[in-house]
């Protein structure tokens, strides 16, 4: 058997997250079902990370073992024929046995999209609709950089324990505003993200936009030595894993 790394895209709307769950429909479960058919034996994969229920991906990665693949394009086509229409294997490549899809990762990029203007049913599956309401774009745009750099994000994750003491380095946060739709997309690039971290950070920024809190309030929560987890999570459907970075 050979070791491979696959890149997959999916709409998370109909799934209970990436991670395999015995009684629920998941992305990992569908991938393993297809791989088991191709391998003609029960087979498992290892994902680069877990996405929540209803979260999407354009560049999730996973490692797996399979019989030697001689024609990658043909293998991808057969693999995709065994998957639901909302999941697609994009590429595969052979990797060393010591490669780990999760622990060999050096960074991840996510995008969060939301709209506070007119509802568009053709976009609502991939962005959070907040209602047609007043939103202070300037305050939002002024506040996001509070999360840039190295911080202790213990109050922006529900994770109980962390081997890195909740320390993460956010390299880039890049928001884009579309005034015609009153919609914002915001790119996050970091060496890693923890459970609900992006949705809690976006939740805090949304509170600023709705004038329920300030940038100073976020900074105080971020710098606090006491654990006091932020309680407002942005909706899952607005989040997409864009890329998993190695090397």
Residues serving a catalytic function are: 52
* Count of C-beta atoms within a 10 Å radius of residue 42: 9
In DSSP terms, 111 is beta-bridged to 187, 240
Residues in Cβ contact with 92 at an 8 Å cutoff, skipping those fewer than 6 apart: 4, 5, 6, 7, 69, 72, 75, 76
Pairing type for strands 105-115 and 128-129 reads parallel
Residue 164 token pair: 């890195």
Q: Where are the beta strands (DSSP E) in the chain?
A: 2-10, 45-47, 56-66, 87-94, 105-115, 128-129, 149-152, 167-178, 183-190, 239-246
Angle among Cα 139, 202, 128 to the nearest 5 degrees reads 105
Q: What's the CA angle centered on 117, arms 199 and 204, to 5 degrees?
A: 25
């Amino acid at each position: 058997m050979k070791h491979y790394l696959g890149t997959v895209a999916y709409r998370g709307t109909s799934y209970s997250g990436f991670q395999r769950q015995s009684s629920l429909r998941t992305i990992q479960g569908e991938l393993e079902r297809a791989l088991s058919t191709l391998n003609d034996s029960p087979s498992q994969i290892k994902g680069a990370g877990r996405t929540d229920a209803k979260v999407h991906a354009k560049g999730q990665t996973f490692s797996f073992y399979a019989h030697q693949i001689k024609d990658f394009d043909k293998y991808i086509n057969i693999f995709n024929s065994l998957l639901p229409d909302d999941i697609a294997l994009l590429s595969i490549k052979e990797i060393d046995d010591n490669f780990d899809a999760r622990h060999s990762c050096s960074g991840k990029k996510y995008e969060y999209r939301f709209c506070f203007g007119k509802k568009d049913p053709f976009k609502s599956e991939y962005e959070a609709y907040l209602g047609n309401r007043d939103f202070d774009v300037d305050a939002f745009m002024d506040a996001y950089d509070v999360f840039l750099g190295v911080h202790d994000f213990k109050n922006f994750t529900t994770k109980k324990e962390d081997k890195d003491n909740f320390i993460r380095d956010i390299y880039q946060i890049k928001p884009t505003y579309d005034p015609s739709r009153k919609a914002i997309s915001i790119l996050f690039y970091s060496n890693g993200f923890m459970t609900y971290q992006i949705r809690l950070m976006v939740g805090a920024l949304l509170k600023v936009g709705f004038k329920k809190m300030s940038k100073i309030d976020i900074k105080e929560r971020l710098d606090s030595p006491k654990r006091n987890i932020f309680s407002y999570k942005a909706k899952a459907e607005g989040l997409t894993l864009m890329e998993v970075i190695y090397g």
